[in-house]
Structure 1
Amino acid sequence: MTESPEPEIGADARAQADDHEGLYPRSVEWLVRDELLPAFPALWVVGPRGCGKSTSMSRFAHAVLDLSEPGTRLAAREDPDGALSDTGGTLLVDEWQEAPEILGAIKRAVDADRSSRPGRFIVTGSVRAATQAATWPGTGRLIRVRMHGLSWAEMERVERYNPIDALFNLDQVQFASSEWRRNDYLEAIVAGRFPVAVDLSAPNRHRWFRAYVEQLIDRDAQQVSPHTPRAGKLRPVLESCAARTGQQLNKQATARDAGVDFRTADAYLGLLEDLCIISRLPAWHEKRLQRLTRSPKIVLTDPGMAAYLLNTDAASLGRDPMLIGQMFETFAATELLAHIETAAEETRMFHARDRDGKEVDLVLESRGNVVGVEVKSSSVVGRDDARGLMWLRDRLGDEFAGGVVLSSGRIPFQIDDRVWALPLSSLWHAPVSP
């Protein structure tokens, strides 16, 4: 176990540390620090490998139990309860899946603490528990916190801005013009969201993604799955997901793309979701809207990885009119996903499409209110691009909080009642009050 000095977690001290170390501030950190650690005894932080879980959570730990270290792992397997020596502060248990026995010890420690002292444990690592629900001891004891790759608000150090909150209050905010141009978005898409890779040169980023995917297929997937996946089949499923990101999930088509049977494709899709590499956006339903489809939409959680798997860069992406639409939508969806955990109200994200072809790319729903989001790569948008939003508005009435067409255009303007055109960069450039 590695002892750490008592961390300073005041906002000013942490901001200074970020500036000194060159680290990006993460919005989930203030959620953990201000709301969750003071209230709950144990947190379980999940997200794709390399998204920054260990780095961020170590800032709140008085000691770290790193189960990726062979000696520590062996000790935890043989005596998991003894490995959780009480530091009097917060213990970070990193890479828990290397010694799953540790979860039972955390359960016993939490249950035995009659005072329910908050802030005792932070657990990070794989989400393998999703495939081992029968043996998962964390139910009711570990509060799950989802962490995604870097948002552009974090990259531009706008730590407390949550675009989801702004979208639910379109009538109270005013968005500014943007300096971003279409090519800036293309470069941001292929850069991805992994903290280690985002600032690398294009050739080195390509090498990093190659190594990441190899480890994902050859090691992480083998560790997470209760059945040994075949690397030669799992990678084609992942590549099919990249080719279909931003589209409705078609398992039969994925199976055909990858040359596997339907059951294998279905199992591998679940495995990639457990690894937080893909995300399924459920189809949105409303009783008043008939003929809505029920198929989820699939997005790769990192657009840079999708670009790597498709062997495309910013220049070639800009010449592919079909793929650029998918990648712009994936980019916007992953930006919003990164903010759902810290939204002021619990929010879920869907997509909407009916059997007549009417659709809305993304639908945000919170406490009975709905925001529709359309994403366009073009720099020029108008009423035709907002038809899906106006269809949704006319059927929902007062429950429709607003709709936006996000594009590479630079000037925000109102298209129709409660429907706006906004620069895509409005997702990280905070608006000002009117």
Structure 2
Amino acid sequence: MAKSLFPRVIAPLLLEALSDTPVVCLLGPRQVGKTTLAREYCPNYSYISFDDSTLLNTAQQDPTGFIQGLPEQVILDEVQRAPELLPAIKAAVDQRRTPGRFLLTGSANLLLLPKVQESLAGRVEVLNLFPLTEQEKHRNENSLLSSLISGKIAPQIIGEQSVIEGVAEAVCQGGYPEPNTRSAARARQWHRQYLNAIIQRDVKDIAAIRDEDEMLALMEMLAYRTGTLLNVSSMANELKMTRETTEKYLSILERLFLVRRLSAWHRNQSKRLVKTPKVHVIDSGLATTLSGLKTDDWNNHKSNFGPVLESFVVQQLICQASWIGSDFKFSHYRDKDQVEVDLVIERGQQLWGVEVKKAASINPKDSAGLARLAAQAGKRFQGGILLYCGNNTLPLTQDNCYAVPMNTLWQ
């Protein structure tokens, strides 16, 4: 059996969940290694894939009989193709609540399907497996997010201020395992084939769509607009689609873990905060392929690398948070003066801010967003970082805030 090319940080959390929870659900995009991880860490489990049409038809026609005929411990792969099984799984677990009985994997977000949360409430633990992070690729055990929330970031001058290497390559490569083994040109070909396959096949598992080409066009537009405020009406007009259809297609792309809406941080008493979400393509490699960006474009000031870099950082930190705990909330900050913070991280009553900058130098105004967020959040604000492409960790004018080299995400 194939093993993961890179160790997945989530693996111990998977084993922990299986030790005390009857149903564990591993969700994430196609081709990120869910099946490989499940089979590698649960070698004694029987394995059933609903990519097998015969098994799928049997499960759909007689869900209860199918579940009753399964072995004691089983992996059910691509379970979003047979949502009819979930009530039968609930009934089986209610009869015999054995930890680790069912390990489900899905390439669509089952929690957004009607009645799923109700069916499996209290019986299931959901873990998300996303494309590889740079931390996983470099096999680094220490996460930047852990350092941030524990207050361990401090000034560090390692030499004359210079540009760090490898950021453009990391962004363009993205995190899907397969293209990480290919040349840049072959990786771009993989990304295109991957998206076409998902739209032609996986979309049909969760929704009926009118036009595959329209959905592909929307995904390409989202790649160009990643890291920006979401304007559904503008996209609908440009694509000559209705707003309702555009919103439906966007929701499907979210359920397939291709894009993420990042809500706006707000306080009820503040009328000066913008409440529009941002949209991020989850994998930066896919985003650069669809928007035509290459590593050679990094130093071209007319290129759109800044927003893609922001999406890249947001994804890295959200993944790091999933390894620490599930009680984090994420948003972005923007007010009517257009002062922004790219990522707001909350845990309980504590709050941190993260800014992203493509340049290798900083100036005092670069901490304006963090300062504004600190003023709005008050005592909740614990500190923040400005991730940039310079090599030194430097203090910013806002207390407990630092400019941090981008490669601390993986080094």
Give the alignment's TM-score, normalised by structure 2: 0.91
Deviation at 1:169, TM superposition (A): 1.9
Does the alignment pair 1:63 with 2:46? Answer: yes
Question: For residues 85-124 of structure 1, what are the alpha-carbon distances to aligned partners after superposition, in whole Å with 9 as ceiling and x for unaligned?
Answer: 4544x311101133333222211111111xx221111111
Comparing 118-127 with 292-301, greater Cα deviation is found at 118-127
Three-state SS of the structure 2 residue aligned to 1:27 is coil
Residue in 1 aligned with 2:176?
Answer: 194
Does the CA-based 8 Å contact 1:127-1:274 persist in structure 2? yes
Residue in 1 aligned with 2:74?
Answer: 91
Does the alignment pair 1:133 with 2:133? Answer: no
Does the alignment pair 1:210 with 2:197? Answer: no
- Evaluate the alpha carbon distance shift between residue 391 and residue 333 of structure 1 in structure 2; reply closer, same or farther with a 3 A threshold: same
Rounded Cα–Cα distance in structure 2 between residues aligned with 1:22 and 1:67: 22
Residue in 2 aligned with 1:33?
Answer: 15
- Evaluate the alpha carbon distance shift between residue 161 and residue 249 of structure 1 in structure 2; reply closer, same or farther with a 3 A threshold: same
Paired residues in the alignment total: 405
- Evaluate the alpha carbon distance shift between residue 97 and residue 33 of structure 1 in structure 2; reply closer, same or farther with a 3 A threshold: same
Q: 2:202 aligns with which of 213, 217, 220?
A: 220
Does the CA-based 8 Å contact 1:413-1:420 persist in structure 2? yes
Rounded Cα–Cα distance in structure 1 between residues aligned with 2:192 and 2:303: 25
Q: Which amino acid aligns with 1:153?
A: Q
Does the CA-based 8 Å contact 1:169-1:401 persist in structure 2? no
Deviation at 1:336, TM superposition (A): 1.1
Q: 1:423 aligns with which of 400, 405, 408?
A: 405
Does the CA-based 8 Å contact 2:25-2:126 persist in structure 1? yes
- Evaluate the alpha carbon distance shift between residue 123 and residue 267 of structure 1 in structure 2; reply closer, same or farther with a 3 A threshold: same
Residue in 2 aligned with 1:277?
Answer: 258
Three-state SS of the structure 1 residue aligned to 2:323 is coil
Three-state SS of the structure 2 residue aligned to 1:405 is strand
Residue in 2 aligned with 1:230?
Answer: 211
Does the CA-based 8 Å contact 1:162-1:342 persist in structure 2? no
Does the CA-based 8 Å contact 1:103-1:138 persist in structure 2? yes
Does the alignment pair 1:117 with 2:89? Answer: no
Deviation at 1:23, TM superposition (A): 1.7
Structure 1: 5+ residue stretches without partners: 5-17, 430-434
Rounded Cα–Cα distance in structure 1 between residues aligned with 2:331 and 2:158: 28
Residue in 2 aligned with 1:149?
Answer: 131
Does the CA-based 8 Å contact 1:180-1:425 persist in structure 2? no
Q: Which amino acid aligns with 1:201?
A: S
Does the alignment pair 1:184 with 2:166? Answer: yes
Does the alignment pair 1:386 with 2:379? Answer: no
Rounded Cα–Cα distance in structure 2 between residues aligned with 1:312 and 1:238: 15
Comparing 405-414 with 100-109, greater Cα deviation is found at 100-109
Question: For residues 33-67 of structure 1, what are the alpha-carbon distances to aligned partners after superposition, in whole Å with 9 as ceiling and x for unaligned?
Answer: 13x11221101211111111111122233211112
- Identity, in percent, stands at 28
- Evaluate the alpha carbon distance shift between residue 133 and residue 112 of structure 1 in structure 2; reply closer, same or farther with a 3 A threshold: same
Deviation at 1:80, TM superposition (A): 3.3
- Evaluate the alpha carbon distance shift between residue 300 and residue 329 of structure 1 in structure 2; reply closer, same or farther with a 3 A threshold: same
Deviation at 1:171, TM superposition (A): 4.5
Residue in 2 aligned with 1:305?
Answer: 286
Does the CA-based 8 Å contact 1:186-1:318 persist in structure 2? no
Rounded Cα–Cα distance in structure 2 between residues aligned with 1:176 and 1:109: 59
Deviation at 1:181, TM superposition (A): 4.7
Three-state SS of the structure 2 residue aligned to 1:133 is coil
Q: 1:375 aligns with which of 318, 338, 356?
A: 356
Q: 1:54 aligns with which of 32, 35, 38?
A: 35
Does the alignment pair 1:107 with 2:124? Answer: no
Does the CA-based 8 Å contact 1:374-1:405 persist in structure 2? yes
Question: For residues 121-148 of structure 1, what are the alpha-carbon distances to aligned partners after superposition, in whole Å with 9 as ceiling and x for unaligned?
Answer: 1111232645641466333332222221
Deviation at 1:213, TM superposition (A): 1.2
Rounded Cα–Cα distance in structure 1 between residues aligned with 2:15 and 2:142: 17
Question: For residues 185-214 of structure 1, what are the alpha-carbon distances to aligned partners after superposition, in whole Å with 9 as ceiling and x for unaligned?
Answer: 111111111011122101211111111011
Deviation at 1:373, TM superposition (A): 0.6
- Evaluate the alpha carbon distance shift between residue 109 and residue 81 of structure 1 in structure 2; reply closer, same or farther with a 3 A threshold: same
Give the alignment's TM-score, normalised by structure 1: 0.87
- Evaluate the alpha carbon distance shift between residue 216 and residue 180 of structure 1 in structure 2; reply closer, same or farther with a 3 A threshold: farther
Residue in 2 aligned with 1:14?
Answer: none
Rounded Cα–Cα distance in structure 2 between residues aligned with 1:424 and 1:123: 35
Q: CA RMSD in A?
A: 2.4
Q: Which amino acid aligns with 2:286?
A: M
